[in-house]
Amino acid sequence: MSALNGKHILLGITGGIAAYKSAFLVRLFIKAGAQVKCIMTPDAEEFVTPLTLSTLSKNSVVSSFTDKEKNWNNHVELANWADVMLISPATANTLSKMVAGKSDNLLLTTYLSATCPIYIAPAMDLEMYQHETSKTNINQLTNSGHIIIEPESGELASGLEGKGRMAEPENIVDFMSQHMLKQLPLYNKKVLITAGPTYEPIDPVRFIGNHSSGKMGYEMAKTALNLGAKVILISGPTHLTLSHPNLELIKISAAQDMFDHAMLFYNDVDIAIASAAVSDYRPKTYYDQKVKKTEEDTFRIDLIKNPDILKTFGQQKQHQFLVGFALETNNEVENAKQKLEKKNLDFIVLNSLQDKGAGFKNDTNKISIITKDDIKRFDIKPKSEVAKDIFNEILDMRFNNKTNA
């Protein structure tokens, strides 16, 4: 999954021969999971057709302030839609107009209205690129906070060899993805999350478990990945799946397995979130064969304690930011505060089985985040949004940096 996944990309195409590459760019952006809208200068239509780009992007392509029916193409709406704007190719003419603040076409007017990050992929002939005016314009755009995707060397449209050809679409997409990833608040941070239930086997066909679905833990893993983190997700049995280049998914069954794997990674992570519903006890004896029913009315299973993963995390905490979960049925806040202190947590997430739509199996949750000094209560909402609330609190407390992940 790319950092471009889910992003709204506004692609501005100007009138250079490299405009033909915009079709490949659109395809690669779509493949990366982005939504794309294209704005063309009138001259760009000489090199690539709006029909091609609209077919690939599944969005209409605009190049003038009004369409054929004289309906207004609102440049402000286009600019506000975009999470990021790319001008590619950016000709010498367009670069000079951007610096001068000219707005004699829809693309430039939209550019001047945009508040999102702006990426620029220049494309021009060798002498044009080396000209002092072009260098000055590019430097000024860089100083304005725009990100320049440097042109590449090779054969140019004039037949000359040298630097000036637009970066290849694959390289543009990779550059943007890597650059955006590095801007994310958890870039290069490691996050350990436990999720789901544990099953404590009695015999080959029976176990002691609980109703946890793992949904909350998996949503937190998705949120951490979207924030740029490398995530280790240790998951008990669940039907859920998740795949990402920065994800290490470890599937376990019993609590001891979860403990063993968690301790392998704990020392190296920046954030640890224990959201799994771990069985407190396991059968003292495991029967190799299925236990047969007898004539007795009762059946006894002796239980022994499982290792306390969260308590061990708290005891060994050094640099880690540690978050625990508490699912309570009575004296919720009091019990959660005790757990917060006893297990040396930075905060604890409380959810109650008394709240409709909260707890196990649901796609929604209602939580309170409890620290030593404060309680923040949240309304019921989808677990994907709950995960964002939790990470906003982590970022605010640990990095003083809230985000709308």
Q: What is the pLDDT along the chain (405 residues), one digit of tens a residue?
A: 578 988 999 999 999 999 999 999 999 999 999 999 999 999 999 999 999 999 999 999 998 887 776 677 889 999 999 999 999 999 999 999 999 999 999 999 999 999 999 999 999 988 899 999 999 999 999 999 999 999 998 877 777 777 888 999 999 999 999 999 999 999 999 999 999 999 999 999 999 998 899 999 999 999 999 999 999 999 999 999 999 889 999 999 999 999 999 999 999 999 999 999 999 999 999 999 999 988 888 989 999 999 999 999 999 999 999 999 998 778 889 999 999 999 999 999 998 777 676 667 688 999 999 999 999 999 999 999 999 999 999 999 987 755 555
Pairing of strands 200-203, 271-274: unpaired
- Report how far residue 263's alpha carbon sits from residue 359's, in angstroms, rounded to the nearest whole number: 26
Helices (H), 281-349: 309-316, 332-342
Element (H, E) at 351: strand 347-352
The answer to whether residues 265 and 296 touch, using CB atoms and an 8 Å cutoff, is no
- As a CATH number, domain 190-399 is 3.40.50.10300
Nearest to 371 by CA among 325, 337, 398: 337
| Chain centre to alpha carbon of residue 201 | 36
Distances (CA, A) of 136 to 96, 103, 132, 141: 9, 20, 6, 9
Domain 8-183 fold: Rossmann fold (3.40.50)
Residue 256 CB-density burial (10 A; 0-12 exposed, 13-18 middle, 19+ buried): middle
DSSP class of 197: B
Residues of the chain with CATH 3.40.50.1950: 8-183
Element (H, E) at 202: strand 200-203
- Report how far residue 105's alpha carbon sits from residue 208's, in angstroms, rounded to the nearest whole number: 68
Residues of the chain with CATH 3.40.50.10300: 190-399
Question: 3-state class of 128 per DSSP?
Answer: helix
- Reply yes or no on whether 188 is catalytic: no
Instruction: Give φ, ψ of 165 to 5 degrees.
Output: -75, 140
The residue annotated as part of the active site, out of 210, 246, 335, 392, is 210
Nearest to 370 by CA among 388, 393, 402: 393
pTM metric for this prediction: 0.83
CA-atom Rg of the chain in angstroms: 28
- Peptide bond preceding 197: is omega within 30 degrees of 0, i.e. cis? no
Strands, E, within 111-197: which ranges?
A: 118-122, 147-148, 152-155, 161-165, 190-195
- Report how far residue 89's alpha carbon sits from residue 364's, in angstroms, rounded to the nearest whole number: 45
The answer to whether residues 309 and 194 touch, using CB atoms and an 8 Å cutoff, is yes
